[in-house]
Amino acid sequence: MRPRFGPPWCKACQGRECLGGGIRACAQRDPRPAHIALILDTYGGVRTIVGTRASIQANTRHDELARVVPGLIVHEPITWDDIPVVIARAKLEFERWLDTRPNLDADMHQAVVLYRLRKLETPQRSLDPSAMVET
């Protein structure tokens, strides 16, 4: 069992590993709604973030494209086991969105081309949380 961070006692977690913001009784739950967003950089790389709209804007540079997963509101913290699902959902929604947007500006079109080339070059990574950790 991994150590628990935050308050030593929580009605939902009862001193064990945090059950996450999806549980209303969690002491660590952020009451503000958070969104899942995928950010495409100019080199075709993507990263997934979870946060408020303001934090998504703060994490996005002026030349990057941020796409928020529509209709999905979560509460932080995201549990360790849910992180692969969050990443996969953001990528799925981003792919759907790209299929319906053929007319992007020249810079974003180039970033999308690089993103698709990276997808061909890089094999699908494992969704197992323990395999994702780099220590």
Q: Give the whole-angstrom CA distance, residue 119 versus residue 93.
A: 15
Structural domains of the chain, count: 1
Please check whether residue 46 lies inside any domain of the structure: yes
Q: Are 35 and 19 in contact (CB under 8 A)?
A: no
From first to last of its 135 residues, the chain has per-residue pLDDT tens of 344 455 666 777 776 677 777 777 777 777 888 999 999 998 888 999 999 999 999 999 998 999 999 988 888 888 888 888 899 999 999 999 988 877 778 888 888 888 888 888 766 666 666 666 654
CA dihedral 8, 14, 18, 19 (to 10 degrees): -160
Residue 92 is predicted with a pLDDT of 92
Residue 55 is predicted with a pLDDT of 92
What are the residues whose beta carbons fall under 8 Å from the beta carbon of 12, sequence distance 6 or more?
A: 19, 23, 24, 25, 26, 27
Please check whether residue 27 lies inside any domain of the structure: no
Please check whether residue 18 lies inside any domain of the structure: no
Please check whether residue 8 lies inside any domain of the structure: no
Residue 7 is predicted with a pLDDT of 63
Q: Are 45 and 30 in contact (CB under 8 A)?
A: no
Please check whether residue 2 lies inside any domain of the structure: no
Q: Are 67 and 59 in contact (CB under 8 A)?
A: no
Would you give the DSSP letter of residue 97?
H
Residue range of the domain that includes 56: 35-126
